[in-house]
Amino acid sequence: MSDHEFGNVSTDLKLSLVEAYLSAFTIALRSQFSDLWYIDAFAGTGERVIKHKAIEAGLFPGTEELIERRRGSAKIALDIKPAFDRVVFMEKKKTYCRALEALKTQHPGRQIDIVRGDANDAIEAEIKSVKWAGKRGVMFLDPYGMAVNWSTLEKIRATEAIDVWYLVSLAGLFRQATRDRTKIEEKKRAAITRMLGTDGWERAWYDAPPKIDLFGVVDENVQRIADVEAIETFVEQRLSSLFPKVLKPKRLKNAAGVPMFSLFLAISNPGGKAIGLAARIGNSILKS
């Protein structure tokens, strides 16, 4: 079996927030909808493996390496009660899909679909093949980096049926948008634009366009003026331009206190009742 070792201090927090939402979602909607779905587009293996390093004996007795297994999002979703009617796991890695297949066998009688491939392609295919009227779903977008295309978010929005928990990598954006604009590689520029669905980020995050001085010398050394706060706000504004409702995100930090991710909840259903319910549950969780 393939172990999936990932995460930092904020991973448990992230998963507990999503779990709290999934639980409140099925409790609130169970009596109104017969089709409640969960789609985990970056599903992993169902488990998170944490290796605690061995400690050599010194003044105190040493300890051996300890391997701890905690539930990942896939297992968490299958444990939700009342249960989702259908659960879809999407995952690129073959060995992780095998782990998900094994997880499926532990839940006989449940409708669990495992789709191997790129999440953007898998989401598009899934959304196209389904009539969304009368269905409600939650999708979890939990990529390592900047893998979710803006065009994928547009498709999710168009369902008017899916609430999306989206982990946005602030660290990824910060790294790709180098401090000195002349150092941004074309590939990285394209990746940011693909993720945000606009090239407007470059105007917003950098100082004025290159200046020509009195002697006609071009000063192209334009510096990024946007800090993490400004980058997060930009992402929030972009999501709010697409989804009827986007909640204030939860900032997730690493052990050193550096902001790494923002966890967003975006609601695709434009109905006042749906927004009211999702926002009430989501805000109580995000602000907790």
Ligand X SMILES: C[S@@+](CC[C@H](N)C(=O)[O-])C[C@H]1O[C@@H](n2cnc3c(N)ncnc32)[C@H](O)[C@@H]1O
| Burial zone of 51 (CB within 10 Å; 0-12 exposed, 13-18 middle, 19+ buried) | exposed
The percent of the chain in helix, strand and coil, each rounded to the nearest 5, is: 40, 25, 35
Number of H helices and number of E strands within the chain?
10, 12
Which amino acid is residue 214, in one-letter code? L
Smallest distance from the beta carbon of 54 to ligand X, in angstroms?
A: 25
* Closer by beta carbon to ligand X, 37 or else 206: 37
The answer to whether 115 and 89 are in contact (CB under 8 A) is yes
When CB distances to ligand X are compared, the closest residue is 72
Instruction: Please name the residues in contact with 132: beta carbons below 8 A apart, sequence gap of 6 or more.
Output: 159, 160, 161, 162
* Closer by beta carbon to ligand X, 15 or else 196: 15
* Closer by beta carbon to ligand X, 76 or else 275: 76
The answer to whether 43 and 87 are in contact (CB under 8 A) is no
Instruction: Tell which residue, 195, 256, 185, has the closest CA to residue 231.
Output: 195
Residues at the site binding ligand X, with contacts judged by CB under 6 A: 4, 6, 15, 42-44, 48, 72-73, 90-93, 96, 118-119, 142-144, 147
Per DSSP bridges, beta strands 86-91 and 136-141 are: unpaired
Smallest distance from the beta carbon of 155 to ligand X, in angstroms?
A: 15
* Closer by beta carbon to ligand X, 73 or else 268: 73
* Closer by beta carbon to ligand X, 73 or else 262: 73
Smallest distance from the beta carbon of 71 to ligand X, in angstroms?
A: 8
* Closer by beta carbon to ligand X, 48 or else 238: 48
Smallest distance from the beta carbon of 129 to ligand X, in angstroms?
A: 18
Smallest distance from the beta carbon of 140 to ligand X, in angstroms?
A: 6
Smallest distance from the beta carbon of 230 to ligand X, in angstroms?
A: 25
- Within 68-214, residue ranges assigned H as helices are 73-79, 94-105, 119-128, 150-159, 170-176, 186-196, 200-205
